[in-house]
Structure 1
């Protein structure tokens, strides 16, 4: 990925040995809990349950033997489509990001709220589809991209608005790419306290700590990899890429808005 190559080549592990061991113990506890649940439940089953508008699909196993649990408010095959705005809108803005990507953080800090405001403008008939990769975990080590995406799944299960608000908070409090801080569940829960719908929300916190949506995050990442994306952030309006990063940083809201509106269908 072109936009993150230089920072990856200078990879430094900034976490202390004690912190890395603590996070690894937390990850192992998640794995052990899931395995115990699977053993208690017997063989892999296919179940589709609808309760209170929340769909839970246990149809396949993730890389860590986790069942696929699809967040409420997700759409598409395996629930990998995350939409903000009118799902029937004529225009689509696709945003491709990795939650550990520092350039994505720059873009979101400059234009994230502008984009959601454009989607809120009914006269534009515009929706935003968020697409997430986890390539930085693979290239730089750690699991912050996957873990943050898993937490976003827990937020999406609450509401689309909670997802968008939490997505903004994560990018507003973004660590350096070389710091796998999003691999720490406690940090993700701490940041969630800035989102009213997630503050003190025990269901959300449990989902984050249990890694409930980890298999879903893997499916979202698989979908990302199917697209011809050479770097993040990438933004496309009705399939046409627009420029969101200049030589000195992200384009401003005025330029960003113009590029989007110039590509909208009448």
Structure 2
């Protein structure tokens, strides 16, 4: 009887041990499953983080990103992507095309000497002027001053044609225009300092915000894409229709700045008179920009 009780006790003990072992196995399996699950989540999180980092690293930045930004075109523009800047009296029958790059030293020399002659003809309604602004010097000399200045010019044009013309003249002026090797116009602070000399732009918060935030950067890239239009790859260049106008050269001689300016003005007048005929006195004021719906006679060329 005692032996049977002993056997039953041993059997019960073995059952308890076996049950305990099963419970421990289940706990171990559950623990391993949790560890694996957590590890998978961790791996996925890391992989996701790496993937996100790779995507971010491959996203375009700077002016490459500007190409994909939302296009905002300045007022007083027309044509595809707002790349036609046509200014002047809408009744003027002729259109002079002017190709410039803001960093271009030759453009600065022209603007500082004969630029006022061009604006005089524009103001008197002798012809409209279509400006095609290039930025190729950024690529040649490095930097981004041409593109930044062009974007700022877009902000000025949005204020008005007069603001655009005055700001462009100021950017080219002897007071501000830097050596082309110095990328000074890449700085917002410098662009705004120049703008302070333009009454329409001084203290203009909308203009300042547009410059700082790059509102017209995408538009500047659309303008940049016009490089080579009509075969023009150098600045300044002047065209009437498909005809490239030739600006007489100033003889290489020792002269004063005043004498140089006088010769430059005379040469520009000679070129314009030869192409458009003698100037007529009077005429309506210019700078009003293209009228809504009016077609640019040079469009598509």
User: What TM-score does the superposition give when structure 2 sets the normalisation length?
Assistant: 0.64
Q: Which of the pair has more CA radius of gyration?
A: 2
Write the deviation string for residues 189-241 of structure 1: whole angstroms up to 9, x where unpaired.
01100000000001000000000001001111112333301311111234322
Structure number with the higher strand fraction is: 1
Task: Give runs of aligned pairs for residues 1-266 of structure 1, distance below 5 A.
Answer: 63-122=66-125, 124=126, 126-172=127-173, 173-244=176-247, 246=249, 248=252, 252-264=264-276
Q: How far apart, in 1, do the equivalents of 2:238 and 2:98 lie? A: 5
**How many angstroms apart in 1 are the aligned matches of 2:201 and 2:112?**
21
**Unaligned regions of 5+ residues in structure 1, if any?**
1-31, 36-60
Contact 1:169–1:191 (CA<8 Å) still a contact in 2? Answer: yes
Q: Which runs of 5+ in 2 are unaligned?
A: 1-55, 253-259, 279-301
**Aligned mates of 1:238, 1:263 — CA distance in 2:** 11
Report deviation, 1:256: 0.9
Q: Which has the higher helix share?
A: 2
In 2: Cα distance, 1:234 partner to 1:226 partner: 11
Answer yes or no: is the 8 Å Cα contact 2:66–2:217 preserved in 1: no
Alpha-carbon distance between aligned partners in 2 of 1:81 and 1:245, rounded to the nearest angstrom: 28
* RMSD over equivalenced CA pairs, Å: 2.3
* TM-score normalised by length of structure 1: 0.72
Summarize the Cα distance change of 1:193–1:208 in structure 2 as closer, same or farther, 3 Å threshold: same
Which one is further off, 136-145 or 160-169?
136-145
Q: Deviations over 1:11-52 (max 9, x none)?
A: xxxxxxxxxxxxxxxxxxxxx9xx9xxxxxxxxxxxxxxxxx
1:263 offset after TM fit, Å?
1.1
